[in-house]
């Protein structure tokens, strides 16, 4: 019978589609997991970058605020003190009293030199006083070694600036740089306060700037201290910033009110109110009275403003401040910008000269234009700043950042500093290795395994179903053939005997013997089929009993010899007395059926071509099992047939028609019965002549 290939083709096609779909789902799921892991890692890296840039910008901003807070006059070793008063209340004129610059001593940490250069190219430093100023400085303020170190650095700086294509002042800022989509303008301390107060930076005085710098320095100095001290300083500084913000907003309102008031004064001065009066003097004095009233109102607001800034008084005493005096007469304000102060400066900007980082700004001192700068100790500064982010990026470094020229678009670099032309290079970022068996991959592996097991189970079930269908078809075909031959014989012989067509007594006896043999053949076939069916359904009941090998042989030998005699063969028993006394606890009827099937097969297949017409029945009790061998001297069983002889219904109709009678159920039944008895039946492949079957039975 041809196998139903279309069933297997459909099954394999469905299995291929299932595996392809599962593979596609698995591939995309793993790709999504990789994308999610990459996004999570990128987010962690970006968060670390933001935190690192925040720390570095904090350090850079503190440095910029500190240096921007220095007034231009501090870049001289000694400067003229304005408005100095002696102990006898004598007021000294400007130039009579000289004050030492705070920069006369050693430069601050991470700074090599402070310097300024005039329009003629004369380069000076407050750390390197000249002539008699040097004598006074060495005698009263600083030692000679510090001055010599400053002088050496000044000479190095002079040689550095003398190189071709060296520009000290950077190009005007083309705009604010951008970081993460938000504008980060390069601001100074004065710009910060001006933005908080919504006023022009020129309206702020030095005391407010000084206090802001002090607060920033307090925070910076306590970064390496204990946590409680840091929290206290930060809280105090934050409180100060809040007070400054509120005060600046009040100042903005006051300045707007003062501006409006001044405009009103100008209007009143230009257009006095004309009222009819009897006294002409009152008419003439009306504008003056209005001006005085407005002036008193302005003084009252100035007093209120001073109360709003309680910390400014001490700061003003500690830092020089410009005095503002109100005019005695109302003077109209010009529409143009106010005249420049005698001392004024622009914010510092970073500039790179080869491997040196310098802060430079343009300043006016006593009406003269100066270029003031701070030569930073870049190696020390870089090492100190990198220590701040070692926990985030151990292999990070800092490098000069590209700056936009005048009129060009700002460089869009998310790793650029906000305050200095520097950029962060994170280097190789160590990432933790993720385990291979993530929860998602474990789930996918379980799902794939379940699909594979399900496909295997369906395949086995389909295979069993197809095999069962084939066996049933083969059984029907073989049984039909087996039944047709004896039934035909029965019908023919019975009709002949019934019609009294056989007159010879000997011929009649031959017919009757043939009918008896065919009846036995049908009985044996039906018995095997029914026994196998009972075993398949599990309804066969074992009737175990105690017996011996000798008793078992005596019970089955008559039937075996009768079957062997029908085909002209002899059953010869080989068992010693000791072997015959071996006890067994088995179902003797099942053993009898097994031995009869083995002898019947020997009669059908070995008898026609047997070298000797003998069937050997041998006993062996030397091992753990009692063994009974059934051996003949026929042609034996071919190697190809050995794998199939214990399969049920392995004969087709064609094989049954061209071979000995049978449907291929005897050996399958023997195998099932032996297993039910607790033993086995095998084909001894070492047998060189004929076929040898070994039945192993448990000893009881």
The average pLDDT across 159-169 equals 80
Query: Which of 299, 315, 343 is the endpoint of a domain?
Result: 343
Average pLDDT, the chain: 74
- Per mean pLDDT, which range of 8-17, 196-205, 513-522, 587-596 is the poorest? 196-205
Token pair 């610059």 is found at 101
What is the 3 state secondary structure string of 381-438? HHHHHHHCCCCCCCCCEEEECCCCCCCCCCCCCCCECCCCCEEEECCCCCCCCCCCCC
Q: What percent of the chain has pLDDT over 70?
A: 69
What is d(CA 130, CA 498) in angstroms, rounded to the nearest whole number?
A: 159
The average pLDDT across 677-685 equals 89
The average pLDDT across 81-109 equals 78
In a domain, 371, yes or no: yes
pLDDT in tens, 7-26: 888 888 998 999 899 899 99
Which is more confident, 541 or 428?
Answer: 428
Which is more confident, 544 or 554?
Answer: 554
Cα 564 to Cα 129, 306, 614, 692: the distances in Å are 138, 136, 9, 16
Q: What percent of the chain has pLDDT over 90?
A: 20
pLDDT in tens, 404-456: 554 455 557 888 888 899 999 988 877 777 788 888 888 989 998 998 999 99
Cα 9 to Cα 13, 14, 454, 457: the distances in Å are 6, 9, 18, 17
Which is more confident, 289 or 691?
Answer: 691
What is d(CA 450, CA 29) in angstroms, rounded to the nearest whole number?
A: 17
pLDDT in tens, 463-521: 888 887 877 777 777 677 667 777 888 888 888 888 888 878 888 888 888 888 778 77
pLDDT in tens, 327-357: 333 333 333 344 344 567 889 999 999 889 9
How open is the CA angle 554-555-558, to the nearest 5 degrees? 80
In a domain, 367, yes or no: yes
In a domain, 203, yes or no: yes
In a domain, 180, yes or no: no
Query: Which of 308, 327, 343 is the endpoint of a domain?
Result: 343
Query: Which of 300, 326, 343 is the endpoint of a domain?
Result: 343
What is d(CA 644, CA 649) in angstroms, rounded to the nearest whole number?
A: 10
| Per-residue model confidence (pLDDT) at position 384 | 93
Residues 320 and 208 in one domain: yes
Domain around 202: 189-343
In a domain, 636, yes or no: yes
Residues 474 and 423 in one domain: no
The count of structural domains within the chain is 3
Residues 536 and 654 in one domain: yes
Q: Alpha helix locations (H) across 538-629?
A: 549-566, 577-580, 588-601
In a domain, 471, yes or no: yes
What is d(CA 262, CA 265) in angstroms, rounded to the nearest whole number?
A: 5
How open is the CA angle 329-334-335, to the nearest 5 degrees? 150
Given a cut of 80, is residue 568 above it in pLDDT? Answer: yes
Residues 291 and 405 in one domain: no
Which is more confident, 183 or 521?
Answer: 521
DSSP assignment of 494-563 equals: HHHHHTT----HHHHHHHHHHHHHHHHHHHHHHHHHHHHHHHHHT------EEEEHHHHHHHHHHHHHHH
Which is more confident, 262 or 339?
Answer: 262
Domain CATH for 559:
3.30.565.10
* Residues 291-330: b if buried by 16+ CB within 10 A, e if exposed: beebbeebeebeeebeeebebbeebbeebbeeeeeeeeeb
The average pLDDT across 74-97 equals 77
pLDDT in tens, 361-407: 999 888 888 899 999 999 999 999 999 999 989 899 999 987 655 44
Residues 306 and 353 in one domain: no
Residues 427 and 497 in one domain: no
What is d(CA 361, CA 343) in angstroms, rounded to the nearest whole number?
A: 13
Cα 160 to Cα 123, 166, 357: the distances in Å are 12, 8, 12
Residues 352 and 337 in one domain: no
Residues 41 and 155 in one domain: yes
In a domain, 452, yes or no: no
Residues 393 and 536 in one domain: no
Residues 561 and 532 in one domain: yes
């Amino acid at each position: 019978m041809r196998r139903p290939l279309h069933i297997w083709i459909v099954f394999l096609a469905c299995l291929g589609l299932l595996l392809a779909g599962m593979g596609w789902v698995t591939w995309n799921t793993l790709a999504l997991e990789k994308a999610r892991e990459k996004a999570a890692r990128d987010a962690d890296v970006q968060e670390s970058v933001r935190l690192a840039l925040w720390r570095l910008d904090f350090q850079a901003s503190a440095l910029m605020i500190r240096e921007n807070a220095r007034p231009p006059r501090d870049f001289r070793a000694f400067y003229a003190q304005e408005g100095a008063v002696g102990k006898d209340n004598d007021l000294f004129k400007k130039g009579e009293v000289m004050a030492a610059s705070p920069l006369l001593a050693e430069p601050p940490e991470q700074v090599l030199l402070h310097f300024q250069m005039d329009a003629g190219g004369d380069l000076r430093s407050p750390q390197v006083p000249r002539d008699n100023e040097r004598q006074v400085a060495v005698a009263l303020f600083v030692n000679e070694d510090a001055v010599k170190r400053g002088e050496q650095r000044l000479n190095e700086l002079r040689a550095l600036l003398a190189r071709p294509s060296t520009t000290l002042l950077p190009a005007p800022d083309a705009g604010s740089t951008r970081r993460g989509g938000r504008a980060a303008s390069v601001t100074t301390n004065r710009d910060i306060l001006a933005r908080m107060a919504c006023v022009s930076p020129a309206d702020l005085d030095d005391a407010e700037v000084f206090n802001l710098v002090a607060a920033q320095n307090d925070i910076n100095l306590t970064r390496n201290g204990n946590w409680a001290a840091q929290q206290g300083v930060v809280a105090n500084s934050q409180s100060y910033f809040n007070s400054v913000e509120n005060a600046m907003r009040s100042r903005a309102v006051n300045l707007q009110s003062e501006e409006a008031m001044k405009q009103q004064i100008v209007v009143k001065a230009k257009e006095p109110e004309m009222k009819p009066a009897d006294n002409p003097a009152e008419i003439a004095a009306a504008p003056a009275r209005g001006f005085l009233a407005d002036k008193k109102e302005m003084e009252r607001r100035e007093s209120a403003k001073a109360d709003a800034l309680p910390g400014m008084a001490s700061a003003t005493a500690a830092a020089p401040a410009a005095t503002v005096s109100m005019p005695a007469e109302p003077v109209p304000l010009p529409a143009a910008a106010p005249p420049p102060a005698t001392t004024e400066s622009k914010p510092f900007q970073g500039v790179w000269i080869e491997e040196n980082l310098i802060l430079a700004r343009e300043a006016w001192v006593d009406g003269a234009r100066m270029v003031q700068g701070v030569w930073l100790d870049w190696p020390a500064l870089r090492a100190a700043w990198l220590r701040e982010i070692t926990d985030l990026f151990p292999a990070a470094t800092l490098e000069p950042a590209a700056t936009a020229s005048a009129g060009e678009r700002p460089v869009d670099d998310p790793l650029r500093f906000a305050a200095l032309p520097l950029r962060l290079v994170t280097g190789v970022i160590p990432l933790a290795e993720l385990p291979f068996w993530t929860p998602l991959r474990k789930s996918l592996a379980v799902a794939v395994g379940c699909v594979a097991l399900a496909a295997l189970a369906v395949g086995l079930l389909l295979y069993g179903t197809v095999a069962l269908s084939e066996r049933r078809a083969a059984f029907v075909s073989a049984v039909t053939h087996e039944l047709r031959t004896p039934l035909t014989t029965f019908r023919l012989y019975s009709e002949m005997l019934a019609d009294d067509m056989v007159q010879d007594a000997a011929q009649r006896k031959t017919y009757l013997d043939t009918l008896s043999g065919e009846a036995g053949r049908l009985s044996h076939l039906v018995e095997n089929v029914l026994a196998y069916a009972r075993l398949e359904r599990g309804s066969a009941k074992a009737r175990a009993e105690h017996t011996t090998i000798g008793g078992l042989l005596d019970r089955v030998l008559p039937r075996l010899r009768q079957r062997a005699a029908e085909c002209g063969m002899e059953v010869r028993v080989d068992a010693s007395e000791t072997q015959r006394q071996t006890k067994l606890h088995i179902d003797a009827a099942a053993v009898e059926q097994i031995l009869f099937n083995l002898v019947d097969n020997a009669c059908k297949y070995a008898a026609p071509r047997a070298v000797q017409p003998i069937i050997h029945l041998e006993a062996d009790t030397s091992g753990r099992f009692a063994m009974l061998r059934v051996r003949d001297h026929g042609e034996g069983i071919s190697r190809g047939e050995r794998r199939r002889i214990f399969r049920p219904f392995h004969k087709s109709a064609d094989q049954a028609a061209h071979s000995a009678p049978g449907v291929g159920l005897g050996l399958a039944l023997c195998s099932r019965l032996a297993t039910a008895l607790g033993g086995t039946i095998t084909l001894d492949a070492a047998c060189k002549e004929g076929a040898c079957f070994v039945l192993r039975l448990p000893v009881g």
